[in-house]
Homo-oligomer: A and B are copies of this chain.
Amino acid sequence: MNVQRMGGDGTVGKALDVLDRVAAYGRPVRFSELLEGSPFPKATTYRLLQTLVSQGMLRLDPESGTYAPGMRLVRMAHAAWAQSSLAPIAQPHLDRLSQEVGETVHLAQLDGAQVLYVDKRNRAAKVPMYSDAGKVGPAYCTGVGKAMLAFLPEAELTRVLAQQSWHPFTGATITSPQAMREELAAIRDRGHAYDLEEHEPGIRCIAMPVLSARGRVQGAVSVTTDGPGPLDDHLPALRAAVTRIAGDLRDWRFPDKGEDQEWQASS
C-alpha cells in the first residue's frame, strides 16, 4: 500500500499530477509544452489546467498563455510546514547551532526516496529565511540523506535504496546499494554521516539524524562547508543541537508515526 506513483486515483490524482508537472518546470509553461509528456489527452489536460487555475493552484498569465504554480500553494504549505515538520520545533536550535559553527546549516526530512529540506540557516546572512524549504535533493549522496537512511528500518531502506538514481555527481559519489549499505553501517557505528564532495565538488558536510523516542527517523541536521577546516570540529555543537531537538520532540509529543518497527543492521 501507499505506493509512490502518482496520477493514480481518479480525477484528483490526475489534477495533482498535472500540477506537479507544471511545478517541475522551473518557469512558466505553455499549454503545448505541457501537453507533450503529459499522460493525458489534450482535452483532458486542458480541462484539468482550467480547474486548477480556477482553484488558484495555478496562475495563468493571459498575456503569454503560460501556467505557473499559484500562491494558494504557498498558503497551504505554510500549514504543512508549521505542523507536519520538525522545523518549528527545531527553529531555535538551528539558530543556535548556526551561531556556534558559523557555517550553513540544513534541516531535512525524508520524503519518499528523496531528501526534503525544510529549513536552513545561511552562513553569511545572519538572519534566516526558508528559501530552501521545499527543495528536494538525492538521499544517497547528501549528508542528511545518508544520516537518515542509516537509521531506517530494513524494509523501508530496501524500498528507498531501490528508488535511488545512483547518478555519479562526482568521483566520490557512492553508486551502488551494496557500497551504500557498508557506508550506512559505518554511519550507524559512529553516529554521524559525512558528505565528502559526493554531491558537489568542494562541498563537504557532517550530518546527524534526529530520532524519535521510539528510534524512528524524524529528520536530520547538517553543517556544510566549502572551506578546508576539519568537519569534526563541528561535531560537538551538532550533536548538542540534535539532542536538544530530539528532546523537544519528545516533550511536544510530536506525531511519531504508527508502526514501531525495529531498524536493524542486517545484511
Taking beta carbons and an 8 Å cutoff, which residues of A are in contact with B?
A: 2-3, 6, 8-13, 15-16, 19-20, 22-24, 26-28, 48, 51-52, 54-57, 59, 61-64, 66, 68-85, 87-88, 91-92, 95, 98, 109, 111-112, 116, 118-122, 125-131, 133-136, 255-259
Pick from B2, B23, B78, B116: contact of A135, CB under 8 Å: B78
A255 B68 Cβ-Cβ under 8 A: yes
A118 to B131, CA, bound (A): 10
Other A-B pairs, 13, CB within 8 Å; known A3-B54, A77-B80: A8-B55, A11-B11, A13-B55, A23-B80, A59-B255, A61-B257, A63-B258, A74-B80, A77-B134, A88-B131, A91-B131, A120-B129, A129-B131
A24 B79 Cβ-Cβ under 8 A: yes
Number of copies: 2
Among A9, A88, A130: residue with most chain B CB under 10 A: A130
A48 → chain B, closest Cβ, in Å?
A: 7
A109 to B71, CA, bound (A): 9
Taking CB atoms, residues of chain B closer than 8 Å to A91 are 128-131
A76 B77 Cβ-Cβ under 8 A: yes
B95 A70 Cβ-Cβ under 8 A: no
A47 → chain B, closest Cβ, in Å?
A: 9
B12 A88 Cβ-Cβ under 8 A: no
Pick from B48, B54, B61, B64: contact of A2, CB under 8 Å: B54
A255 → chain B, closest Cβ, in Å?
A: 5
Q: Say yes or no: A12-B9 contact (C-beta < 8 A), given A116-B74, A125-B127, A258-B62.
A: no
A77 to B98, CA, bound (A): 25
Q: Say yes or no: A55-B131 contact (C-beta < 8 A), given A61-B257, A116-B75.
A: no
A121 B129 Cβ-Cβ under 8 A: yes
A133 → chain B, closest Cβ, in Å?
A: 6
A10 to B12, CA, bound (A): 9
A75 B134 Cβ-Cβ under 8 A: yes
Taking CB atoms, residues of chain B closer than 8 Å to A125 are 95, 126-128
Taking CB atoms, residues of chain B closer than 8 Å to A111 are 71-72, 75
A30 to B61, CA, bound (A): 38
Taking CB atoms, residues of chain B closer than 8 Å to A82 are 26, 130-131
A98 → chain B, closest Cβ, in Å?
A: 6
